[in-house]
Structure 1
Amino acid sequence: MSILKNLPYEWLVGLRYTRAGKRSSRNSFISFISLISMAGIALGVAALIIILSVMNGFQKDVTDRMLSVLAHVEIYDKNGGLQDWQAQEQAVLKNPHVKGAAPFTPMQAGLMHGNDGLRPAFVRGVLPDQEPKVSDVERNIQAGSFNELRPGEFGIVLGVDLARSLQASVGDKVTMILPQGTVTPAGMVPRMRSFTVQGIFHAGHQEFDSTMAFVHLQDAQRMLRMDAPSGLRLRLDDMHKAPQVADEIKKVLPPNLEVRDWSKLNATWFAAVQTEKRMMFIILTLIIAVAGFNLVSTLVMTVTDKQPDIAILRTLGASPASIMKIFVIQGALVGLLGTALGVAGGVAVALNIDVIVPFIEHLLGVQFLSKDIYYISTVPSDMRWPDVAKIGALSVALAFLATLYPSRWAARVNPAEALRYE
């Protein structure tokens, strides 16, 4: 209490106006509207934190699944095959952020099993002993073995959905057809080769599971009539540093080599995700804005009800700036309390969403995410404190802006007019 006594009178009056009034039904109604405004701000802040955390969680989960197959950085030779790939490998491994490198040769092909139709596939030629340095394909093998890819034996490892669409299993023969043709006296004939299925992997990402396959690097080069791999794939200690590391690597490599990081290789997908997050942020911010409009109406009603009090304060020597400060303090306190409650609730839910969602599913007898459709059965959450800080600051700023018009109106109250009928 001693602390409150030492506060300026503007703070004391503002705090008193914020508390629930008990002397009249009008004061109680105004206080009820203040509580509704506070609850609206809290709800908007909590919803924004929870939704952004879930979206960040989905993005992180999908990114991790993508990068279990994709590399963090890829290096290509613009002129064709990377003849001195061993030397370039040693050069890039000198960068402290590069933890692994492996050569590869990509090719577009069609795969066919028996009399089934042709299935498009993105086939990657790799070295089985080096591929684990840059991807998690070997750990994601469901059947067979990734190490069974041997040069000259023309083995192939298929994605689980691709194998299912081909109705192929380990040990079966599939025919690979390349769009690059061979000129014969009878005309252009597409290149074809029979491959033995040596393994089936599950990356957890529908695009890769349904279109990707792996063969030995030398077999891929023979199919494409190349004498060197197309480039190198790199894995870093921190995938978020990929753009920075790619720029560093590009400076030490010959100019004929092109360096691309994973964000550029999937630029369309990441642009779509960022656009979706921005739009969701704007939409959910409108909830806070609506609560801000409620705060405006609350303060307008308070100013109308407290005009005699304002007039008395003016006659006692209070300046218009002091009157304005009283109502700014009242509105700001409502905004701060609502924001604090929203941040606390949103953070609590975001950090425990892996417990809350299963409880709701069990209570309602439903499953929000079917594993057969989404490949994940739990709602992911990745709460980021910078997002929480931005949301809190935005909420407080909107609440402060909502106080400006009513407080300026209160400062312009004429004492004589306000006390005429008192």
Structure 2
Amino acid sequence: MPLLSPSPTPVPPAPPKTVGWLTVLRLPHCGRSLFGTLVGRLPLGMAPVALLMAVEAEDGSLAYGAALAAAFGLAVAAGQPLLGRFVDRAGQTVPLVVGAVISALALASIAVVGTGEPHLAMTAALLAGLAAPPLEAALRSLWVRLVPTPSHLRAAYALDSGSQELVYVAGPLLATCIATWAGPTLALAATAALGLTGALTVAAGAPSRAWRPRPDRRGGLLGALQPPTLRLLLLALAAVGASLGALHVAALATADRYDTSWLAGAMPAALSVGALIGSAVYTLRPWHACLGTQLVLTGAGFTLTWLPLCLDPPPPIGLALVLLPGLFFGPLLTAAYLAIDAVARPGMVTESYSWLVSAFGVGTAAGTALAGPWGGSWIVPAVTAAIALGLLHLVRHRLTHRTQILPL
């Protein structure tokens, strides 16, 4: 009678492999796609500053300059979902190229004609914002096709969320330097040229040209907003954006109180640096918590780290403390990207990500407006962050079982 061989000991599944940012950037097309997206999105940080300085150079009022900058920002928030839906229906090439050309021509027209005619300048600013190509959303719909594994995708999203902070640090700084040294006209022209160059870099790449809409795409009046979980997540992210908008006013008020003008720009930059560091740390090792828990925990950290700032610490301490919300903001944004992937309707991923951009834009504007009457109090970003945390708890409960067991 033959001896029965012992049954093999089951081998436990290997833990998810840690993938770093350099690994992602070495993959074909990843570095070019990310670089083109960042360059193409620089106008989002440059245009408001360039418009303000252009009005100032022509002896216009601060209120007029702020209105032009606000019109551009709100138009971007309105145009992104529309162009994102266009991408999901027609592919990436036409929306990215046509949008970039129209937006660049609108900004260039302000550079040539000036801001002396308010109606013309306002129309051009609105058109430039509405036509701004949805590069951020387009890249996130490409990542899943550019990387081979969920671990790579997690690292790519963390790299994405961390590096996008450079847009809002480098953009205003670049616009200010060009306007100071060469005049606001050249700053507007450079803004237009960079936006067009970045968009064409992405659109000319093989992954973007090969990207096709899904044939099972289902339409409807609400479009990508149909899933209730997505709507809740967008509301939470709008509240997060409100905290960031209130930060700019609080930083300016703090700079005035302590007579340190540099603090108005340094504090938002410090939060961006914190977000970059937080995203890098998030990538270092897999986090085994379910996706809903990741959203809540990073949201809790983002909320709690605003509280020490409510004590109005002096500039050196305050500047260091602003880093802390950023450390949680980067991972929170990365977890939000993964959640959108999980709950987006078939064939509507680009539009879903475009709504995220809009939610942040509207939330940032609302936070800025809300912080003004409160005199730039640090309580405002803390309260809006707490609202975001409450909404993230609801998102966690609504996430499906399939979402919660995603390999992260």
| Higher strand fraction (1 or 2) | 1
TM-score by length of 2: 0.28
Q: Which has the larger radius of gyration?
A: 1
TM-score by length of 1: 0.28
